[in-house]
Amino acid sequence: MIKIRRIILALAFLLLALSIGAGVYAQTPHVNVLTIKGAINPVLIDYVERGIEEAENSGAQALIIQLDTPGGLDTAMRDIIQLIVNSRVPVVVYVAPSGARAASAGVFITIAAHVAVMAPNTAIGAAHPVAMGGEDIPGAMEEKILNDAAAYIRSLAATHGRNMEWAENAVRESVSATESEALELNVIDMVAPDLETLVAQLDGRQVTLLNNQVVTLQTRDAIINDVPMRTIESFLYAIADPNIAYLLLSIATMGIMVEIFNPGLIFPGVVGGISLLMAFYSLGMLPVNYAGILLIVLAIGLFIGEVLTTTFGIFTAGGVVALVIGSLILFQGASPVFRIDPWLIATVTITITGVLSFVIHRAISAHRKQAKTGREDLIGKTATVKIALKPEGTVFFKGERWNAVSEDGEINPGEEVVINRVDGLTLYVNKKQPVK
């Protein structure tokens, strides 16, 4: 009984300690930090949304988005901006570390922040919209898209009292600025060399949220709480890359081709199937030119046709040309962020061509080889006469008796004969000539 009381008292003490610790943490000022490094794509929407929710629920003084991006998709950018604008906790976009940039979509996200900050030796700008597919944008449509983007960024800049003219020029003329120029032009609010300095500079700053609620940041001695991507988020973000998507598509092509030409290997087919599904997901996150996909599919068809029909390289040459052109235009017309590395295209093309050449060589060799099973295996082989061939009789071959017909006159028992052809269950033979 005494032991039970001790256990109950220990549990009560532990719960009390945990509740006190949680209360102390809740009262301790803290800021949450998200890190975005790379292209803006749909995977980041869930990451930012989760980060904002955690900051709101934990009572964080602010959410800092550390940003380093060359740009990305317009749709993903707008969804992230909506999350920032509607956040109930101040959002600080911090272009960092040194050497980072906020280009294209990153400009919009920085301008939309409640507080915009840059680290030394960073840059912002070049937000001119580009086509998100392979087709050319007609003049009137391009003007509409440009005007829409310019109006959008002016509205974001006006909301936070930032330089609307520069923001519009970043869209229309692709102007850029360093951190010191951006601060002087009133594009950003401050420059900070690191997160600790930034958190200290934020203390006492007033921020107006969407509902006109004015919040005074109290970040002195605040705890910096890093909120990294979850494993699945990191994985999905990693494969939503044009080079990774292209590599997955290439692995899928080789795996499925090897499985088709070598049924029963299983492993290449499984790897190819998984790679194909991941490639579909990745391509779904990217601005794909469907003409490029069709050319790659055509290349695969030509490669398969080469193996099945053996056109002595005609289909292979056509497949290589289709593969290279399809690879080059797979994301043609999109932002440079969504371009495939030419060296990767060259490597994949050489690898697929090499694998295909090996498969074709094996197929041709198999066709040229004499059959190892069935009646064709008998032709050219030597048998022994059991019952004299006059011209019909019986021969003995590999422990079996066969009816035989001599095409070389009478042949006596015990003599060796060579099988010329097979007709049903009858062998047609000639007398074996002695070796001189």
Closest of 139, 173, 129, 153 to residue 333, by C-alpha: 129
Tens-digit pLDDT profile for residues 166-181: 999 999 998 999 999 9
Backbone phi, then psi, for 411, in 5-degree steps?
-130, 130
Mean pLDDT of all residues in the chain? 83
Give me the active site residues, please.
104, 144
Residue 310 scores a pLDDT above 80: no
Cα distances from 215 to residues 88, 162, 218, in angstroms, run: 10, 19, 9
Instruction: Band the pLDDT of 136: cuts 50, 70, 90.
Output: very low
**419 bridge partner residues:** 429
Q: Is the CB of residue 209 less than 8 Å from the CB of residue 87?
A: yes
pLDDT of residue 89: 95
- The tokens for 23 are 């209360």
Task: Give the model's pLDDT for residue 162.
Answer: 95
Q: In what order do the strands lie in the sheet with 115-118?
A: 190-191, 115-118, 91-95, 62-68, 30-37, 223-226
More confident residue, 337 or 166: 166
Number of H helices and E strands in the chain, helices first, is 14, 16
Residue type, 206: Q
Residue 45 neighbours by CB under 8 Å, 6+ apart: 76, 79, 80, 83
C-alpha 173/C-alpha 162 separation (Å) is: 18
Q: What gap in Å lies between CA 319 and CA 349, rounded to an integer?
A: 10
What is the C-alpha to C-alpha distance for residues 67 and 13, in angstroms, rounded to an integer? 44
Q: How far apart are the first and last CA of the chain?
A: 109
The full set of domains in the chain, from first to last, is 2-229 (3.90.226.10), 241-368 (no CATH), 375-431 (2.40.50.140)
| Per-residue model confidence as pLDDT tens digits over 404-419 | 998 888 888 888 888 8
Mean pLDDT of 19-43: 75
pLDDT at 135 over 50: no
Backbone angles phi, psi at 219, to 5 degrees: -110, 10
Rounded average pLDDT over 96-107: 94
Where does the pLDDT of residue 225 fall: very low under 50, low under 70, confident under 90, or very high at 90 and above? Answer: very high
CA distances from 218 to 195, 215, 231, 289, 380 (A): 15, 9, 32, 49, 96
SS (H, E, C) 152-221: HHHHHHHHCCCCHHHHHHHHHCCCEEEHHHHHHCCCCCEECCCHHHHHHHHCCCEEECCCCCEEECCCCC
pLDDT of residue 21: 47
Structure-token pair, residue 358 = 């090996």
Q: What's the token pair of residue 205?
A: 């700053």
Is the model's pLDDT at 122 over the cut of 50? Answer: yes
- Residue pair 324/342 in contact (Cβ under 8 Å)? The answer is no
In tens, the pLDDT along 316-328 reads 788 888 888 888 8
In whole angstroms, give the CA distance from residue 394 to residue 405. Answer: 8
pLDDT in tens, 208-221: 998 888 999 999 88
Q: Between 12 and 253, name the one with better pLDDT.
A: 253
CA distance 134 to 164: 31
Average pLDDT over residues 272-293: 84
Among 131-135, 147-151, 261-265, name the one with the lowest average pLDDT: 131-135
Tell me how far apart the alpha carbons of residues 303 and 316 are, in angstroms, rounded to a whole number: 6
Confidence of residue 291 (pLDDT cuts 50, 70, 90): confident
| CA atoms in the 13 A half-sphere facing the CB of 249 | 30
Greatest mean pLDDT range, 21-35, 135-149, 407-421: 407-421
Beta-carbon contacts of 201 under 8 Å, excluding residues fewer than 6 positions away, are 190, 192
Half-sphere exposure of 296 (CA within 13 A, CB side): 24
Tokens of 337: 């962020």
> Beta-carbon neighbour count of residue 31 at 10 Å?
23
